[in-house]
Amino acid sequence: MKTAKKEKSPAGKGKKILIFIVIILVASAATFGVMIAFNIGNTGVKTNNFLATLPVAKHFFKPIGPVKTPQELEEEKLEAQRKQLELEKTQMDEFSEQLAQWELQLKAKESELIDREKYIEGLRRKLETRLDNITKLTEYYEKMEPEDAVEILNNIADNELVVVILKNMKQQNTSEILALMEPARAARLMEMMAPQE
């Protein structure tokens, strides 16, 4: 007996094609799903950004930037550190300039103080010399007879010098000398010797 070949019905053939198409679609969807889930070829980010542009889906998806490789992340980190170092260097340079200005100001103040110190030292020496001279003059006038001292003091035009000499003498000698001077000049000298308020 001969077996008869079964003819394939067009309906059976259509089912197989439909099943084949469904398998291809499922396999494609699964492959696409795996690519999105693991972001293969940046597919996940691209899909998310595409869905974020659709009016219906934009409430559920927010645009995100591309995922960066570890090398890109390291480069960004190094760039951030470089910028931070540049900022710190700029701040250090500014601080260094400020310190240099302060140093110049301090040197100027130091020079000014040295000049003032020299000036004050010069004044001190002058005052010491003048005080020594006045002390010696006072000693000379105290050793003189009051009449001789009055004769010399009357010839000194600088009343302030006469007052200083008289103030440094013993009170007894000063009184005797003033008593022997002409009354108008003695009065002027007494006024000058009076304590000033």
Domain boundaries, the chain: 17-59, 68-126, 144-197
List, for residues 100-155, the tens digit of each pLDDT value: 999 999 999 999 999 999 999 999 999 999 889 889 988 988 899 999 999 999 99
List, for residues 17-28, the tens digit of each pLDDT value: 889 899 998 988
Q: Helix (H, G, I), strand (E, B), or coil: what is residue 187?
A: helix
Q: What pTM, to 2 d.p., does this model score?
A: 0.44
User: How many C-beta atoms lie closer than 10 Å to residue 174's C-beta?
Assistant: 22
Q: In terms of Cα–Cα distance, which of 194, 146, 151 is closest to 173?
A: 146
Q: At a CB cut-off of 8 Å and minimum separation 6, what does 176 contact? A: 146
Q: In terms of Cα–Cα distance, which of 29, 64, 24 is closest to 48?
A: 64
Q: Report the Cα–Cα distance between both ends of the chain, in Å, rounded.
A: 159
- Indicate the pLDDT class of residue 1, thresholds 50, 70 and 90: very low
- Please report where in the chains the tokens 């259509």 appear, as a residue: 14
pLDDT at 101: 96
Mean pLDDT of the chain: 85
User: How many C-beta atoms lie closer than 10 Å to residue 56's C-beta?
Assistant: 7
pLDDT at 46: 75
pLDDT at 13: 78
